[in-house]
Structure 1
Amino acid sequence: MIFRWFESLIDAFKEPEDGMPPDSVWRFYVFYLRQVWPVFAAAIVVGFGVAIVEVAMFGFIGRIVDLAKGAPAADFFARHGRELLWMVLVTLVARPVLILLHDLLVNQAIVPNLTSRIRWQNHRYVIRQSLGFFQNDYAGRIANRIMQTAGSLRESAVQIVDAIWYVTIYTGSALVMFAHADVWLAAPLLLWLVLYVITLAYFVPRTKERSWKQSEARSRLMGRIVDGYSNILTLKLFAHTRREEAYVAEAMGEQIQRMRSMTRLTTAMDATISALNGLLIVGTSALAVWLWSQGRVTVGAIALSTGLVIRIHNMSGWIMWVVNGIFENVGTVQDGLETIARPRLVQDRPDAVPLQVNRGGVRFEDIHFHYGKKGGVIAGLDLAVRPGEKIGLVGPSGAGKSTLVNVLLRLYDLEDGRILIDGQDIAGVQQESLRSQIGVVTQDTSLLHRSIRDNLLYGRPDATEEDIREAVRKARADEFIPQLVDGEGRTGYDAHVGERGVKLSGGQRQRIAIARVLLKDAPILILDEATSALDSEAEAAIQDSLELLMRGKTVIAIAHRLSTIARMDRLVVMDKGHVVESGTHAELIARDGLYARLWKRQTGGFVAAEDDAALA
């Protein structure tokens, strides 16, 4: 019961503020710790109590020695029973209770929940980044930074709290106790403290810098490893295992060098602190014995000072490792900020409203987009697609066909111009509502490494089992789904498809994609080389499904197979970011332009092999 209560103090899934996390390390820490400040404040107070009790116990040792020396053994307990009972209560009751509270706050409330909250909020922010964000980085490195940053922030925050109290209480109390016995007894500790601070001031900044570089190298290594695993088929098809090993070895070599640089610093720091601690123990003990020989301090003061400096010696080594860990974690957080604290390039406006699609008309008005490059990908394009019209986009590679689809989906924001759907500027509507009204079947269908059923429900999460099976039947996917078995023995709709759907053939993935879009039943449909993964027989088998899929919808199809293009109401020919021709197949052939030149190379109803790339 007590565990559950402490575990409920922090909600791991609290909705974050909808904005970019701070991009500086200090403000990043404050941003997340401020959300759980009552629990952290309680941990700080309890930590203070634990440190006070620990120091008091060393005072008890010196006090007991002095009491035993000054009182006859026979009536020792009678004369000092109350004081001894107080020492027992502090040691047997107060100390365990305070340590238990500290552990409950840290281990039950902070460690699992704060870590998970930071990961959850960072994930929610990053997953809403633009498509370009993910295309410009390794998926493995992004995931690695999300996971590591949270743990490092929590760990360093807890370590800082514990370290501050132990250093402050131990050294402060020791100085007071030593000075109370004899002011000269505090001199070695004061000297040690000055040298200890100088040592920290030298090593800590270097530790932070090298930790950041080490974390950066580790993230790069993780990215390369995951990149290879994600593209394992390409690696094997091109027989480049050794090349891939060399690629990873290069990053691993850099990571080793960064780690060696870090461990050299750690070894030097540890050796320096050990030498200082030796001086502290010898200096304090020798001075205490000399002062006792002069009659200036008691035997209890010798026991107290010797025991306390030995404890400080052990603590200083721990503090140094903690400080090293703190700045290693700070370096990891700093590395994570490079991925997490970046502005979203595509965002909804504050006044964005849901898109309402009644008819499905689409207009591109003088649009410009260049992917940040000089020169035009799309420059000044105008195109109107009537409600319910089915158009086919044709043109050479780089003409801007896929880019046109990307900006319609608002995967990127336009640089100029506007796109209207039923008269509504898509720049002013919510992205989620825009994409919910558009169904997409792409050339390279990517499925989630989940069950067939889960992948289908992406089309419509509230679909019934009957809806799913009907969509599967229409897509002709019912021919293979019942026979599927995954590595863990799951079958049919429960079988998992592997990362990006690698356990299925291209044709099978495409049929799942078509079934998913059939379930979605959006009023606007985009087919981006939707049948290119199918052979002629498989394509013919699902043509009826495509016809059904397109029925009653506004359709924009990028295709070079005539079987798809011939079914379009109008063909739009693009070149260098412009619409250069528009009309039916017969009209374009008669015009003898770019489309006619491409057509002349066709045989057997398909674009010639050498033109496949040009028409993609």
Structure 2
Amino acid sequence: MLDRLLRPFERVLDPFEDRIGEEARERERLTGHLAPLPTTANSFIWYFARQAKWPLLGVLVIGGLAAMVDAAMFTGVGWIVDALEHSTPETLFAEHGALLFGLAALTLVGRAVVLVASSILEEQVIAPSFYNRIRWQSYRRLMDQPYTFFQNDFAGRLATKVQQIGQATGDFIITTLQTFWSFVAFVLLTVTILGAIDWRMAVVLAFWTLGYAWIVYALLPQIRQYGRERANANSVWTGRVVDSFTNILSVKLFDATRAEDAFVKEGFSSYVEAVWRVSRALTGVRGATAILNGILITGVGVVAVLGWQAGTTSSGAVATALGLVLRLNQMSGWMMFNINGLVRNYGTIQDAVATISVRPALIDRLDATDLVAPRGEVRFEDVTFHYGKGAGVIENLSLHIRPGEKIGLVGRSGAGKTTLVNLLLRLYDVEGGRITIDGQDIAAVTQTSLRSAIGVVTQDTSLLHRSIRDNIRYGREDADEAAIESAARRADALAFIAGLKDPKDRTGFEAHVGERGVKLSGGQRQRIAIARVLLKDAPILVLDEATSALDSEVEAAIQENLQEMMQGKTVIAIAHRLSTIASLDRLIVLDAGRIVEQGTHAELIARGGLYADLWHRQSGGFIGAGDKKNRVAAAE
């Protein structure tokens, strides 16, 4: 019954809606990227407040009504005291029945309606949907960031920012509209009522109001600063904890638990210090508020008693005045706590906005078109890239990969092989020159269409903590069961998939693989990754140490399938194990970001250069010393 009554209110706001202006919507349509969120705390708060203006207006109205009900009830107490003083038990209801029944109705009905409406607005309409809408939109903006953004931060810290900013922004708005406005309205009504009883009470309350405003102005900004520092320290130590948990295997293998304790403790200590600074400032505020409230209660009490002695103030008016200031004392302490919360939340918003509202450094152009790649021809034209360091990595590199050609990138570690692939995928923008696919500059096409045209199997394969089926389907979301099983079979993965069982007793394709795929062996993860790319069936294929995690027997088992997968595709393969790419159409030898040799395996061996030396180290490295010519002959 209660669920049926309340459920419609929960649908007033859609937590997954992302309202943006027409200009921003058009930009999203053209570029595939969402408009960044506002970059200052004030504009960020206002941006989201406008998305729920009617529910928030309701909170404002109900906050005012709540203050009126409170003031009316305390005033009613005074009226009842006067009624009792001037009536007998026999005449009370005859003379004051309407007053008594009116106050009873206000207490039983009016107050209940206001409080229930307030609860529904806050608990059903706003808290579940509005708070999570802020988190959802913040998450989507972070997901729009380029690969480098995530390389430079803790995943746990970013997740904490998303969680914090939803809570902080929602609490800030609700506290301002509901609590703060209700308090201000109550103060105004109290000034009016006390002024009507005795103008001197209004003067005392006016001085109290000035003192309260001084506390807010002079003492709370420090709490805001400390609150921002605390929020940042909290996200840092949380990020360190997540980093330790994510890399728990390395921690255990190197017996580094105590070292990790020290690393996390350092971040946690900073957080505790920040909490202490906030707490000290809060104690100062609470102490000042307690002294100020004592002056208010004493001042109004003295004026009320003197008025009663002089016959200008009735007993009921004294009861009303004292009741109002005692309620005001309670509300002011509660309000100061909420203002402290406002300040802390504002600091949290400021801190989180600095991360969440960063404009992506790599976005599609406004006139970006979808890549059309029927042939798969790739050209690197005088490409330069230094990771922003000004020198090194890739220098004026030009390379033409013909449609359907299968090339291998060879070179020592750090030669620039993986960087070339990352530039092709546009995980970074080139700093000079350009890259084209079928004559189209990849900087002028959408990132979505570019990456849909390239299938990638990397050396460091991380799977999603989902089912085997979901991980393979990542290659093509609309794939049916038959296509998924076919891809797994071609990757020689069906046998081990059939035997999988996770801790929740899910088996086979339904079994979950754990965070980053930790429940699978390296070879199993690699075969799932290969199945995913087989399912994607992109015209350009990148194999970055694709079989490095496989033992020789398993590698041999899927080589035939890899050969089948490469048919009719442009292939770029990177391998330190040169035997896996020796049969490709052409090998490109890189050194210090430049092409120093290229040709077939046989041509490069005959040349006796860097490739021949690398080949010798792998296949003939244990042959006795001799001249270079003899070593090359031995390798061949």
Fold agreement, TM-score > 0.5: yes
Q: What is the percent sequence identity of the aligned residues? A: 50
Do structure 1's residue 13 and structure 2's residue 16 form an aligned pair? yes
Aligned mates of 2:19, 2:412 — CA distance in 1: 45
Residue 357 of structure 1 is aligned with which of 350, 359, 373? 373
Of 153-162 and 218-227, more deviation after overlay is shown by: 153-162
1:230 deviation in Å? 0.5
Aligned mates of 1:240, 1:4 — CA distance in 2: 50
Q: Deviations over 1:153-182 (max 9, x none)?
A: 101211111232222222111111111111
Is the contact made by 1:448 and 1:498 (CA closer than 8 Å) also made in structure 2? yes
1:592 deviation in Å? 2.8
Aligned mates of 1:120, 1:400 — CA distance in 2: 37
Q: What amino acid is aligned across from residue 555 of structure 2 in structure 1?
A: E
Q: What is the DSSP-based 3-state SS (H/G/I as helix, E as strand, rest coil) of the residue aligned with 1:572?
A: strand
1:563 deviation in Å? 2.9
Residue 175 of structure 1 is aligned with which of 191, 211, 216? 191
Is the contact made by 2:59 and 2:178 (CA closer than 8 Å) also made in structure 1? no
1:495 deviation in Å? 0.9
Residue 54 of structure 1 is aligned with which of 48, 52, 70? 70
Q: What amino acid is aligned across from residue 583 of structure 2 in structure 1?
A: R
Q: Deviations over 1:447-497 (max 9, x none)?
A: 001111110110111212111111111111112111111111111111111
Aligned mates of 1:550, 1:606 — CA distance in 2: 33
Alignment of 1:188-203 (within 5 A): 188-203=204-219
Q: What is the DSSP-based 3-state SS (H/G/I as helix, E as strand, rest coil) of the residue aligned with 1:419?
A: strand
Structure 2 partner of 1:526 = 542
Q: What amino acid is aligned across from residue 380 of structure 1 in structure 2?
A: N
Alignment of 1:534-549 (within 5 A): 534-549=550-565
Of 87-96 and 469-478, more deviation after overlay is shown by: 87-96
1:238 deviation in Å? 0.9
Residue 241 of structure 2 is aligned with which of 225, 230, 254? 225
Is the contact made by 2:134 and 2:166 (CA closer than 8 Å) also made in structure 1? yes
Do structure 1's residue 206 and structure 2's residue 215 form an aligned pair? no
Do structure 1's residue 481 and structure 2's residue 484 form an aligned pair? no
Structure 2 partner of 1:614 = none
| Distance verdict in 2 for CA 1:131–1:237, change over 3 Å | same
Q: What is the DSSP-based 3-state SS (H/G/I as helix, E as strand, rest coil) of the residue aligned with 2:129?
A: helix
Do structure 1's residue 2 and structure 2's residue 17 form an aligned pair? no
Q: What is the DSSP-based 3-state SS (H/G/I as helix, E as strand, rest coil) of the residue aligned with 2:128?
A: helix
Do structure 1's residue 215 and structure 2's residue 231 form an aligned pair? yes
Structure 2 partner of 1:612 = none
Aligned mates of 1:144, 1:186 — CA distance in 2: 47
Aligned mates of 2:612, 2:88 — CA distance in 1: 118
Of 310-319 and 488-497, more deviation after overlay is shown by: 488-497
Is the contact made by 1:221 and 1:255 (CA closer than 8 Å) also made in structure 2? yes
Unpaired runs of 5+ in structure 2? Answer: 21-33, 625-636
Residue 428 of structure 1 is aligned with which of 431, 436, 444? 444
Of 160-169 and 310-319, more deviation after overlay is shown by: 160-169
Aligned mates of 1:110, 1:204 — CA distance in 2: 27
Structure 2 partner of 1:446 = 462
Do structure 1's residue 105 and structure 2's residue 121 form an aligned pair? yes
Runs of 4+ in 1 over 3 A off after TM superposition: 70-73, 604-608
Is the contact made by 2:9 and 2:124 (CA closer than 8 Å) also made in structure 1? yes
Of 551-560 and 271-280, more deviation after overlay is shown by: 271-280
Residue 458 of structure 1 is aligned with which of 468, 471, 474? 474
Q: What is the DSSP-based 3-state SS (H/G/I as helix, E as strand, rest coil) of the residue aligned with 1:602?
A: helix
Q: What is the DSSP-based 3-state SS (H/G/I as helix, E as strand, rest coil) of the residue aligned with 2:571?
A: strand
Q: What is the DSSP-based 3-state SS (H/G/I as helix, E as strand, rest coil) of the residue aligned with 2:435?
A: strand
Q: What amino acid is aligned across from residue 208 of structure 1 in structure 2?
A: R
Structure 2 partner of 1:384 = 400
Structure 1 partner of 2:84 = 68
Of 231-240 and 179-188, more deviation after overlay is shown by: 179-188
Q: What amino acid is aligned across from residue 46 of structure 1 in structure 2?
A: I
Q: TM-score under structure 2 normalisation?
A: 0.93
Aligned mates of 1:303, 1:474 — CA distance in 2: 86
Q: What amino acid is aligned across from residue 179 of structure 2 in structure 1?
A: A
Q: What amino acid is aligned across from residue 341 of structure 1 in structure 2?
A: S
Alignment of 1:489-508 (within 5 A): 489-508=505-524
Is the contact made by 1:563 and 1:605 (CA closer than 8 Å) also made in structure 2? no
Q: What is the DSSP-based 3-state SS (H/G/I as helix, E as strand, rest coil) of the residue aligned with 1:374?
A: coil
Do structure 1's residue 95 and structure 2's residue 98 form an aligned pair? no
Q: Deviations over 1:478-531 (max 9, x none)?
A: 121111111111111111111111111111111111111111111100000111
Aligned mates of 2:460, 2:195 — CA distance in 1: 77
CA root-mean-square deviation: 1.7
Q: What is the DSSP-based 3-state SS (H/G/I as helix, E as strand, rest coil) of the residue aligned with 2:542?
A: strand
Do structure 1's residue 153 and structure 2's residue 156 form an aligned pair? no
Q: Deviations over 1:235-260 (max 9, x none)?
A: 11111111111111111111111111
Structure 2 partner of 1:611 = none
Q: Deviations over 1:51-104 (max 9, x none)?
A: 111111111111222233334443332233333333232222222112211111
Aligned mates of 1:125, 1:565 — CA distance in 2: 40
1:16 deviation in Å? 4.4
| Distance verdict in 2 for CA 1:135–1:565, change over 3 Å | same
Q: What amino acid is aligned across from residue 577 of structure 2 in structure 1?
A: R
Aligned mates of 2:18, 2:405 — CA distance in 1: 42
Aligned mates of 1:165, 1:130 — CA distance in 2: 42
Aligned mates of 2:19, 2:622 — CA distance in 1: 52
Aligned mates of 2:579, 2:544 — CA distance in 1: 14
| Distance verdict in 2 for CA 1:587–1:486, change over 3 Å | same
1:187 deviation in Å? 2.4
Aligned mates of 1:563, 1:52 — CA distance in 2: 84
1:604 deviation in Å? 6.0
1:591 deviation in Å? 2.7
Q: Deviations over 1:200-238 (max 9, x none)?
A: 222210110001111111111001000000101111111
Aligned mates of 2:275, 2:485 — CA distance in 1: 55
Do structure 1's residue 269 and structure 2's residue 285 form an aligned pair? yes
1:607 deviation in Å? 13
Q: What is the DSSP-based 3-state SS (H/G/I as helix, E as strand, rest coil) of the residue aligned with 1:112?
A: coil
Aligned mates of 2:620, 2:477 — CA distance in 1: 42
Is the contact made by 1:392 and 1:571 (CA closer than 8 Å) also made in structure 2? yes
Unpaired runs of 5+ in structure 1? Answer: 609-616
Structure 2 partner of 1:284 = 300
1:579 deviation in Å? 1.6
Q: What is the DSSP-based 3-state SS (H/G/I as helix, E as strand, rest coil) of the residue aligned with 2:572?
A: strand
Q: What is the DSSP-based 3-state SS (H/G/I as helix, E as strand, rest coil) of the residue aligned with 2:619?
A: coil
Q: What is the DSSP-based 3-state SS (H/G/I as helix, E as strand, rest coil) of the residue aligned with 2:396?
A: strand
Aligned mates of 1:606, 1:144 — CA distance in 2: 53
Q: What is the DSSP-based 3-state SS (H/G/I as helix, E as strand, rest coil) of the residue aligned with 1:311?
A: helix
Q: What amino acid is aligned across from residue 294 of structure 2 in structure 1?
A: G
Q: What amino acid is aligned across from residue 262 of structure 1 in structure 2?
A: V
Structure 1 partner of 2:627 = none
Aligned mates of 1:270, 1:251 — CA distance in 2: 29
Residue 603 of structure 1 is aligned with which of 609, 619, 622? 619
Do structure 1's residue 317 and structure 2's residue 333 form an aligned pair? yes
1:605 deviation in Å? 10
1:372 deviation in Å? 1.3
Aligned mates of 1:603, 1:16 — CA distance in 2: 61
Aligned mates of 2:393, 2:357 — CA distance in 1: 29
Q: Deviations over 1:239-288 (max 9, x none)?
A: 11111111111111111111111111112221221122122112211220
Number of matched pairs: 608
Aligned mates of 2:184, 2:383 — CA distance in 1: 64
